[in-house]
Structure 1
Amino acid sequence: MRFRGGPGAAHRYDERGAAAVFGIALVGLLVCFTVACCVVASVVSGHRRAESAADLAALAAARALQEGTDGCTDAARIASANGARIETCRVDGLDVVVTVRVAAARLFGAGLTLPARARAGRGAG
């Protein structure tokens, strides 16, 4: 490090370049914050898709039961059309309970599946 000033200023350090280091640190923090926000947005979006797929699958299954056909077959078809896969499909009296999973975006090489559950039918409430 170079000292600045004359003989009486031997304890003052040259601070040139300190703003660049601070700027680089700020950019790094901004990048980290942006990546974290993208991860959260991806998880929230995936969960909303899972909830929608579960709701639609449960409604399709309940309608099929009222028509006298297999509700779980219709639930699987509707869930698949919405990018989900059926985990469980259970007829509970007049109701159908459906659990689905949706694959979220792969982040940093790690896959994430998000579950959702829905109930539909005459007795649901």
Structure 2
Amino acid sequence: MRAERDRGVATVWTASIIAALLCVVGFVYWLGAVVVTRHRAESAADLAALAAAAHAAEGPGKACQRARWVAEGMSVALVTCRWERRDALVEVRSPLPGALARFGPVGARARAGPVDKPP
């Protein structure tokens, strides 16, 4: 009698474990996508700030155009480019992929200045 009641239990347990593993794999995938997007935004902000600082002699307008060119080349949006003393301050935003886009973009900031004189 008991053997007949237990039929199919292994199938239910196996299906439950597979479903749980798929949920974990999905979570790790989306977490990885967020981390990669964050790193891309930080790298783009760093490079845009360096580009602006490298072209500071051309004036703030031209320097910020160069920062925008670098940011767009890395598929992020330049939000702000401003100057504080002799340092370029840059902020960028990068959209999250797929269904994560509803959580809003990832932002990053960077600062770069001339190397000829210490602060």
TM range (shorter): 0.7 to 0.9
Cα distance in structure 1, aligned partners of 2:101 and 2:37: 17
Residue correspondence of structure 1 range 9-28 to structure 2 within 5 A: 14-28=5-19
Unmatched segments (≥5 aa) in structure 2? none
Cα distance in structure 2, aligned partners of 1:28 and 1:103: 29
Larger fraction in helix: 2
The answer on 1:34 being equivalent to 2:30 is no
SS at match of 2:99: coil
* 1:95–1:124 CA contact under 8 A, matched in 2: no
1:107: Cα distance to partner? 2.1
Distance 1:80 1:68, change over 3 A: same
- Of residues 49, 72, 93, the one that matches 1:80 is 72
* 2:95–2:101 CA contact under 8 A, matched in 1: no
What number of residue pairs does the alignment pair up? 115
**Which range moves more in the overlay, 102-111 or 40-49?**
102-111
Match of 1:68 in 2: 58
Distance 1:115 1:50, change over 3 A: same
Match of 1:9 in 2: none
1:112: Cα distance to partner? 3.6
* 1:105–1:112 CA contact under 8 A, matched in 2: no
The amino acid that maps onto 2:90 is: V
Distance 1:88 1:13, change over 3 A: same
Distance 1:51 1:124, change over 3 A: farther
Identity %: 33
Give the TM-score normalised by the residue count of structure 2.
0.87
Give the TM-score normalised by the residue count of structure 1.
0.83
Q: Higher relative contact order at CA 8 Å, sep ≥6: structure 1 or structure 2?
A: 2
* 2:45–2:90 CA contact under 8 A, matched in 1: yes
